[in-house]
Amino acid sequence: DQQVKQNSPSLSVQEGRISILNCDYTNSMFDYFLWYKKYPAEGPTFLISISSIKDKNEDGRFTVFLNKSAKHLSLHIVPSQPGDSAVYFCAASYMQYGNKLVFGAGTILRVKS
Amino acid sequence: GAGVSQSPSNKVTEKGKDVELRCDPISGHTALYWYRQSLGQGLEFLIYFQGNSAPDKSGLPSDRFSAERTGGSVSTLTIQRTQQEDSAVYLCASSPGGPSYEQYFGPGTRLTVT
């Protein structure tokens, strides 16, 4: 049972345009959500997070939106740059789960110049 | 400062052999996690160490898998009698502990069982 789902395996976007990566979850206990970015042969690196008490968090070109009623979150990258090309993982957790993260399968983002 | 390091970076082993994977967390981080990523899949939680507490082993897929953390720092993940389905990238992460969910990952060990 996949508790965190990233239904788009890949996404291709033109440089300068917006990239929107989506993530759905099923466990209503989740209260913290994170996005990680992964380059080939490297470990995932933390990008941005959001607590369930918020519906938006912004950090530079990256914004995460949370829709709790729909159990959906999205990562917006504006403007997209070629260096953003990577695999993006959505992850979720809740305090009683001991800070362990449940990851989605990832979305490959390609930003074309 | 130094990040999380893992060794070896690649390991090829024959089915039935035992393997040990090592993780050096960020100095001062009290929490340490092991995950694995099989081809085309997300990261799958394996085991979690927090300070001196008993580890959370709820993600270990079988009793062939074990892990220890010595002196609250370095951790070793051991897989006994490896099987082909154990082939994956094994990732270690550490975090400062406490309420923070942000984890810092190492580069991983790619394990191939032939």
Query: Chain B partners of A42 at a C-beta cutoff of 8 Å?
Result: 107
In chain A, % helix, strand, coil (3-state, to 5) comes to: 5, 55, 40
Residue A36 sits at the vertex; the CA angle it makes with A77 and B27, to the nearest 5 degrees, is 135
Q: Are B106 and B38 in contact (CB under 8 A)?
A: no
Asked whether the CA dihedral A19, A73, B39, A94 is positive or negative, the reply is: positive
Write out the DSSP string of A7-55. Answer: --SEEEEETTS-EEEEEEE--TT--EEEEEEE-TTS--EEEEEEETT-S
Binary contact (B48, A98; C-beta < 8 A) = yes
Residue pLDDT tens, chain A, 113 long: 689 999 999 999 999 999 999 999 999 999 999 999 999 989 999 999 999 999 999 999 999 999 999 999 999 999 999 999 999 999 999 877 777 899 999 999 999 99
Chain A residue with the nearest C-alpha to that of B40: A105
Interval B103-113 mean pLDDT: 96
From CA A49, how far away is CA A57, in angstroms rounded? 7
At residue A77, the pLDDT reads 98
- Residue bearing tokens 């810092």: B104
Interval B64-75 mean pLDDT: 92
Binary contact (A46, B104; C-beta < 8 A) = yes
From CA B66, how far away is CA B18, in angstroms rounded? 11
CB neighbours of A13 closer than 8 A, spacing ≥ 6?
A19, A80, A109, A110, A111, A112
A46 touches chain B (CB under 8 A): yes
At residue A97, the pLDDT reads 75
Best residue in B5, B43, B58, B89 for a mutation probing chain A (most A CBs within 10 Å) = B43
Interval B20-24 mean pLDDT: 97
Give the pLDDT band (50/70/90) at residue B99.
low
Specify the 3-state DSSP secondary structure of A97.
helix
